[in-house]
Structure formats: structure tokens, C-alpha cells
Amino acid sequence: MRKIILFYFALLLLTACVSTKKYYVHGNYDKAIAHAVKKIKANSDNKKEIIYLEKSVHAANQKDQERITFLRSEGHPENWGEILELYTQLKNRQTLIQPVLPLKLDNRTITFPYVNYDQEIIYSKQNAAEYWYAKGQQLLKSGDRFQARQAYEYFINVKNYFSTYQDIDKLIAQANQDGVTKVGFTFENNTIFNLPPNYKDNLFNFDIESLDRKWVRYFPQTNSNGPYHYIIKLNLKAILMTPEKLFQRESIKTKKIQDGTEVLLDNNNNVVKDSLGNPVRVPRMVDVSCKLMETVQQKSVHLDGEVTYFEVQTQHVIALKPLASDYFFENITYMANGDLRALDEEIQKKLGKPPIPFPNDMEMIAGATNLFKKVFFDLLRDNQTLIK
């Protein structure tokens, strides 16, 4: 706790040490301006803040204007976005300082000439939108999904400038569609078991949409929504079934329990009485035992598989991931001989129940598949970065 308090104290000191002058000296002119305006609003006669406000405004405006001149002289159409940002910055800066103007410093009045930047902002915005629109169209025609994604960003820029610019909504929708990576699934059964026709559908029946990302979509049914950029193949290589086991085991259960009450005696075997003269009674504890006979039924199955990530364009396998799951069946029935009070309550409830039929092989496989499916989903989630 002391360390936390010291940390916050140090943070407060650091914050307090920040000054308009430091911002100005380090070239952070807009931070200096914002800091000075705040101080001057609190005290319009703050000479130090007025001095550095004036210096910062001149320096910031000069820097932006020189950058604009350079960018316009270059003549590159891609410069219009930055030019627009600079003009917007000039306007916002002017708006920020207006409330504290004019200022008095010694024997002179400080003010800054008002400049209407609206026409320059509109002109820059039109040119920037035109550039991003044309650039986006060019990228979209390439047929490459990665360039379609970049085109999408360019079209969004245009949309931010002008919400109804030409057919921009149509182009955004097309770029959004063309930029998607499609991932299909296939399944191979290389085991000795003849699995039911709907096995694959059940295996791929999970919340697959939760794996989708902005530019990635998963399609469990590979006969539609093609063509695909990646194929994820799940190869079920082996199903190992253990034989049915039936065996018995015996044990003796003992427990100390209360069996009524008895009179409490002192060390001299005299009856202990309470304040009213009545004998004090305490629980009588006894040891009981019971012979427990358990009939145990066991069966298990192991599913072994492999997941292959295949990139269609390069025709390369980009990853191989092992996959496995185990499913266990166990049922225990109980018989007892002796004092049943020595047994736990849950076991007492199960006494006398007969064994149940063993699940058949397909029921065991179904149980293992439910676990296999969960492991498969976790693997897909953990390896999402393989899909670009």
C-alpha cells in the first residue's frame, strides 16, 4: 500500500511539473497552447503563460503552413489527406485560443488575425476523397483479397469525408466481401469403424461463427460459399476401443457414530449434574463396521486424429496439429454386509441396484466425439493466427 501511495504521489508531482514552457521547449506546441489557455482562463494576467502562448501559436502555425506549402509543391495526390489534417488543425487551434483574446502584455495588446480556413478544408477534402476513391477502385480491380481490404479502408476514408460520395456504399460493400478469407472444412475417416452418415455434420456442429473475424469466415459445409482460401482437414486416424471389464472388489468400512446418549461421569465415576441437579447426558459414540462389495463395470475409447491446415493458393500444408480425446464409462453397484451406518449416505442410496447394460461401441464413440469436438474447437480458436 505504501508503494502505491508513493507512486501516485510521484505521479502528481510529475503532473504538477509539466509547464507551458516545457511543452514549448520540446516542440509540443499544441499541448503548450492548450495548457496556456487553461491557465489564462483562470488568470487573465498570467504574464508567463501569455508569453509562451504567443510563442507557441506563432511556432505551431508557421510549422503547419510550411508543411502545407511543401506538400502542395510536391503535387502528389496522396498528400491531400495530410493537407486536410493540417488545415483542420489550424482551424481547431484558432478556435481554441479565441475565447482568451485579446490579451494584454505590458503595454501592448496581443491578438491573432482570424483566418477563414473553410474553403481550404473543403477543397482539400474534395481532393483527398477523389484520390482515395480512385486508389480504392484500382486496388479493388486487382482481385487480391488483401488489396481489397486496403481498398475498404480507403473507401471508409471517403465515407468519413462525404457520407454520400458517388457509389461509395456499394464499393465499401464490395471491398468488404472481396477482402474476406474463406475457410472450408473436410473430414476423413481412416478408422476401421463405419461411422454414420451424419457423423461429420455432428462433428462440425459447434459455434463456428464465434471463430469469424473481420476478414475471416469459416464454412463447415465445403460444397457452398466457395472457392476457399484455406481448407482445414480433420483426419480421424484411429478409434481404440477397450473390451468391456467387469470385476468385483471388497473393502471394510468403519466409522465412529453416535448411538444414543449416556450419563457423564467425572474422574471418580460420579455422575456429573447441572445447576438444577439433573444428570448431564452426552452423546454415546460407538465404532461400527460394514463389509462393502462393489461390482465395477468399465469401458473406454480413445479417438486419435490430426488437423491439417492447407493453403489453396500456394498448395502448401502450413500446419499439422495432433488431436485426441478419451471417453470413459464406469458404473459401480454395491452390496453390503454389516452395520450400514458405517457407509456414506450416497453409497447407502445405491445399495441393491443391479448393473446396467454396457454402452455399445457406437454409443462410446458418440461420447468420445462430443469431447473430440470440444478439443477441435479449442484447437481452431488457438490457431486463428494461421489464417490470414
Residue 387 has pLDDT above 50, yes or no: yes
Is 135 part of a structural domain of the chain? yes
Is 52 part of a structural domain of the chain? yes
As a whole number, mean pLDDT of residues 350-363 equals 91
Mean pLDDT for all residues in the chain: 90
Residue 225 has pLDDT above 80, yes or no: no
* Same domain membership, residue 98 and residue 161: no
Q: Which of 237-241, 257-261, 266-270, 348-352 has the highest mean pLDDT?
A: 237-241
Residue 249 has pLDDT above 70, yes or no: yes
* Same domain membership, residue 375 and residue 246: yes
* Same domain membership, residue 331 and residue 357: yes
* Same domain membership, residue 74 and residue 156: no
As a whole number, mean pLDDT of residues 18-29 equals 91
Is 30 part of a structural domain of the chain? yes
* Same domain membership, residue 61 and residue 152: no
* Same domain membership, residue 248 and residue 375: yes
* Same domain membership, residue 140 and residue 19: no
Per-residue confidence (pLDDT) for residue 258, from 0 to 100: 85
* Same domain membership, residue 306 and residue 245: yes
SS (HEC) of the chain? CHHHHHHHHHHHHHHHHCCHHHHHHCCCHHHHHHHHHHHHHHCCCCHHHHHHHHHHHHHHHHHHHHHHHHHHHHCCHHHHHHHHHHHHHHHHHHHHHHHHCCEEECCEEECCCCCCCHHHHHHHHHHHHHHHHHHHHHHHCCCCHHHHHHHHHHHHHHHHHCCCCCCHHHHHHHHHHHCCEEEEEEEEECCCCCCCCCHHHHHCCCCHHHHCECCEEEECCCCCCCCCCEEEEEEEEEEEECCCEEEEEEEEEEEEEEEEEEECECCCCCECECCCCCECEEEEEEEEEEEEEEEEEEEEEEEEEEEEEEECCCCEEEEEEEEEEEEEEEEEEEEEEECHHHCCHHHHHHECCCCCCCCCHHHHHHHHHHHHHHHHHHHHHHCHHHCC
Dump pLDDT digits (tens) for 156-181. 999 999 999 999 999 999 999 999 99
Domain extent for 12? 2-115
Entry pTM: 0.71
Is 337 part of a structural domain of the chain? yes
Residue 6 has pLDDT above 70, yes or no: no
Percent of the chain topping pLDDT 70: 94
Per-residue confidence (pLDDT) for residue 11, from 0 to 100: 45
Looking at the 3D structure of the chain, how many domains does it have?
A: 3
